[in-house]
């Protein structure tokens, strides 16, 4: 590789890493707003920073898959899962609430008694998956917990990849 090719490669790598940083910082602004809405139990703010249909489909799929895994390939269990879809939909509606995601935020170290981290701190934790998708892991190098997707200029929560036991409805203990 000649010096000019090496310089061009280095420049391209710098540009690409800059795009990832820009996307993370851009996403961090919306994640910050979501955390503020969760902390303040602000339903309208929460709804503005989630993609409710996408999140509901993702959670429904997770709950049905976990139920199927727990019951194996028993045909009665599969039939029960199909018939229970309205109940699953009701459960998912109850899970897509600011208070439920406040419990998730607490497992990540956030709480109503602490200030929400600034955008730079949030950006440093976000992991780009591609140009329009990023995730927030529970720990810096851990698996993704929350998945965000950019659509129409905003980053919205579209997925929860953690243990579904973290999604708690009702008072915190």
pLDDT value, residue 109: 80
Q: In this structure, is residue 159 part of a structural domain? A: yes
Do the domain assignments include residue 95?
yes
**Does residue 72 sit within a domain?**
yes
* Residues 162 and 138: beta-carbon distance below 8 Å: yes
pLDDT of residue 74: 61
Q: What is the pLDDT of residue 143?
A: 92
Q: What is the maximal distance between C-alpha atoms in the chain?
A: 68
Per-residue pLDDT at 10: 33
Looking at residue 90, its pLDDT comes to: 81
Q: Number of structural domains, the chain?
A: 1
Closest CA to 64 of 83, 47, 51: 83
Torsions phi, psi for 146 (to 5 deg): -115, 135
Residue 150 lies in a domain: yes
Among all chains, which residue has been given the structure tokens 């194996």?
Answer: 72
pLDDT tens-digit readout, 92-134: 888 899 999 998 888 888 888 888 889 999 999 999 999 999 9
Residue 1's pLDDT is 47
Q: Which domain holds residue 75?
A: 3-166
Q: Is residue 131 part of a domain?
A: yes
Is the separation of the CB atoms in 116 and 36 below 8 Å?
A: yes
Residue 115 belongs to some domain of the structure: yes
Per the structure block, which two tokens stand in for 33? 């707003």
Q: Is 32 part of any domain?
A: yes
In this predicted structure, what is the pLDDT of residue 11?
35
The answer to the question of residue 173 being in a domain is no
**pLDDT per 10-residue tile (average), the chain, 173 residues:** 38 40 84 93 95 92 78 62 70 88 85 87 92 90 93 94 82 49
Dihedrals φ, ψ of 66, to 5°?
A: -65, -40
């Amino acid at each position: 590789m000649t010096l000019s090719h090496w310089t061009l490669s280095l420049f391209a790598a710098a540009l690409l890493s800059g795009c990832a940083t820009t996307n993370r910082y851009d996403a961090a602004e919306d994640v910050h707003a979501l955390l503020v809405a969760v902390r303040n139990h602000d339903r309208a703010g929460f709804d503005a920073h989630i993609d409710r249909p996408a999140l509901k489909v993702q959670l429904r799929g997770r709950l049905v898959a976990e139920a199927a895994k727990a019951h194996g390939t028993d045909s009665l269990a599969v039939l029960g899962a199909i018939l229970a879809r309205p109940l699953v939909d009701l459960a998912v509606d109850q899970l897509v609430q600011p208070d439920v995601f406040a419990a998730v935020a607490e497992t990540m170290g956030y709480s109503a008694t602490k200030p929400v981290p600034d955008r730079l701190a949030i950006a440093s934790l976000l992991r780009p998956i591609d140009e329009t998708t990023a995730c927030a892991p529970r720990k810096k190098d851990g698996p993704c917990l929350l998945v965000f997707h950019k659509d129409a200029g905003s980053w919205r929560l579209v997925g929860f990849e953690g243990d579904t036991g973290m999604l708690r409805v009702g008072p915190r203990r």
